[in-house]
Chain A
Amino acid sequence: MTTNPEVNRLYAAWRRLGVNFSVTSCTDMVEVEPLILATAAVAGADERLTICAISWLARYHSFVDGRRLSELTRDSAATVRSYLGIMLSLAIEAPDGAGRAPQYEAALAHCKPLRRPRALYDNIEALPAFREWARTHGLPVYRRWGFWHDDVTLKLVSVHPLARILKVPELRARALCGPSIEAAFIAHAMDRITNARSLSRDIGVSYAAAHAAVERLVGRGLLLRRRNGVRQELSPSAFAVNALRVES
């Protein structure tokens, strides 16, 4: 735990997604792409959070919705985009990295280097002796995004194996439906009766996109649609419930 409530919130969210932080996992469903952006926003403040998140991104890039990440990145502050740039680049290029992760390409296209280079982490930037060390020993992958740092070691040992990741309902839905709005909708609809408007609000997508995704899920037999007066209620089909149920 840290003294920063936002960092603590992110620790709990990453814990739920399978990063072995010694904090209590959050109980609410986690939206992966907003979590990645939120982590980029505080990346300079906490090395352990940052490097463990990058390790997760390296190992589980197939669970990330590249289109949604790209849209959120486009609307983010310039500094956040610089930090996201180095996070995604490291997830791909670090010695233990993914090597290739096409899911990140669209988001990376929105990322720009910092205008004024600085040490990657705030506590290094604050200490002249260490800042100077980072500046002179900074590795090219960091310099490309306007940062100085000398270590590209990931912490893959802190990321849970796939079998455990697949017990997280929202990731299980992504494994079955692909990382998409559909997966987010199915995960959200698992324990409640909902409708397209609520889903659009909960996930943060337009009503048109929500409606189209619902049509696809109903068409594939994963969601059931029932009329209740003027409302259309959506619930998961027995097939979807069986597929997404986690055996304990």
Chain B
Amino acid sequence: MLPPDYKARLITLPARGKLHIALLHRQDIIVMKLFAGRPRDLTDIVALRPTPQELQFVRSELPRLRRIDQPRAARLESFLDQYHDDEP
């Protein structure tokens, strides 16, 4: 469920010997967690405090997410519609 271009946003940490670490960008984590919507994901979302721009990015992903799982995408859309009045 990650956006197809997530690799372009990976944040690469300096290599330590043979260990290479790449971190997902915040907005990709937020898409993933809001779509999954488990209690632990919502706890993480509260900690991440997404910005309006990041939530707009999540909204832009909705057409793709609807093709993956329509009911979950509808839940996410409903959450985004309510978010400003009812922040987690």
Contacts and interface: CB of A to CB of B under 8 A. Distances in A.
Interface of A: 47-48, 120-121, 123-124, 126-130, 132-133, 151
Contact of B79 (A47, A48, A121, A130): A130
Contact of B39 (A47, A129, A132): A47
A174 to B, nearest CB: 31
B75 interface: yes
Contact of A47 (B37, B38, B46): B38
A127 B43 contact: no
A126 B88 contact: yes
A123 B42 contact: yes
B88 to A, nearest CB: 6
B5 interface: no
B82 A151 contact: no
A121 B41 CA distance: 12
Contact of A123 (B39, B71, B78, B81): B39
Residue of B37, B39, B82 ringed by the most chain A CB atoms within 10 A: B39
Interface of B: 37-40, 42-43, 46, 71, 75-76, 78-79, 81-82, 86, 88
A47 B82 CA distance: 23
10 contacts: A47-B40, A48-B40, A120-B39, A121-B39, A123-B42, A126-B88, A127-B79, A128-B86, A129-B76, A129-B78
B75 A130 contact: yes
Top 7 nearest A-B pairs by Cβ distance? A129-B78, A47-B39, A129-B79, A121-B39, A123-B42, A133-B75, A47-B40
B38 A127 contact: no
A129 B35 CA distance: 12
Contacts of B40: 47-48
Contacts of B71: 133
Contacts of A126: 86, 88
